[in-house]
């Protein structure tokens, strides 16, 4: 049965051949349409290869049937949210509603249907280098897989658009544990923003009794991370400063 009504026997046979044609067995042989039709005829199911090719496009495949049903749900979610949801949010909403679907499938169907979400406006720059500032060496060289915690922290700034305006978030992550140890949000990309995130990270690890000796703090070339205030705090905590290329952290 399909969608509440019985499918014609011809459609079932065509579906069967379409599903199995082209499969490879362990010995490397390929199942063709003609051998499958021959085996079916030996079992009393009369169908010729020419008949299969004639009827193949008249009956949608199972994937086409599922795509059609999913597209109805995708359009519903997209319209229910005033057309602002992109593929990611539509995918999350469908799965929250108990409709299991892969994100790539949602992206493909939305692209085919010409559906897209609202795109962000002007991109914010979070890495603005200070050419006059003394820059620490790159102690990491893009090796972001330490063998233990408290060996490498990476720090960066990101931004979020809210109804009240742009909000910037600085954070410090342990590269081994993939754990955010410190973070702070604000409406400006100040040095104090990254200092507060660093202070929370240091406090988090020291409260847990961890030794920070030999720790490397890695960031990009943003002026906040090459500031004198941050350099002095890292030196006070005996943490080695490391600065890489733009976007490397």
Q: Is 230 within 8 Å of 135 (Cβ atoms)?
A: no
Per-residue pLDDT at 4 = 42
Each residue's pLDDT, cut to its tens digit, for the chain (249 residues) gives: 334 444 557 778 877 887 777 655 444 446 788 888 888 888 888 888 888 887 776 766 777 788 989 999 999 999 998 888 899 999 999 999 999 999 999 999 999 998 988 766 555 555 555 566 677 788 888 888 899 999 999 999 988 888 878 889 999 999 998 999 999 999 888 889 999 999 999 999 989 888 888 899 999 888 888 888 988 999 898 999 988 865 555
DSSP state of 245: S
Q: Is 213 within 8 Å of 238 (Cβ atoms)?
A: yes
Spatial distance between the Cα atoms of 229 and 194, rounded to a whole number of angstroms: 10
Per-residue pLDDT at 177 = 87
- Buried residues in 63-84 as b, exposed as e (16+ CB within 10 A): eeeebeebbebbeebbeeeeee
């Amino acid at each position: 049965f399909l969608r509440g009504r019985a499918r014609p026997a011809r459609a079932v046979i065509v579906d069967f051949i379409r599903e199995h044609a082209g499969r490879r067995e362990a010995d490397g042989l390929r199942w063709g349409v003609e051998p499958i039709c021959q085996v079916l005829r030996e079992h009393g199911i009369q169908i010729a290869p020419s008949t299969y090719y004639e009827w193949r496009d008249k009956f949608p495949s199972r994937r086409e049937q599922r795509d059609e049903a999913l597209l109805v749900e995708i359009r519903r979610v997209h319209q229910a949210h005033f057309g602002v949801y992109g593929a990611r949010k539509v995918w999350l909403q469908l799965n929250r509603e108990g409709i299991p679907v892969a994100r790539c499938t949602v992206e493909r169907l939305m692209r085919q249907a010409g559906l897209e979400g609202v795109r962000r406006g002007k991109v914010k720059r979070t890495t603005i280098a200070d050419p006059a500032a003394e820059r620490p060496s790159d102690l990491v060289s893009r090796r972001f897989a330490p063998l233990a915690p408290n060996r490498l922290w990476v720090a960066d700034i990101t931004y979020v658009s809210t109804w009240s305006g742009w909000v910037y978030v600085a954070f410090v992550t342990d590269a081994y544990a993939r754990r955010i140890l410190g973070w702070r949000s604000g409406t400006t990309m100040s040095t104090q923003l990254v200092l507060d995130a660093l202070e929370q990270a240091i406090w988090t690890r020291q409260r847990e009794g961890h030794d920070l000796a030999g720790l490397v703090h890695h960031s990009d070339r943003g002026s906040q991370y090459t500031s004198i205030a941050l350099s002095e705090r890292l030196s006070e905590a005996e943490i080695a400063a490391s600065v890489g290329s733009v976007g490397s952290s």
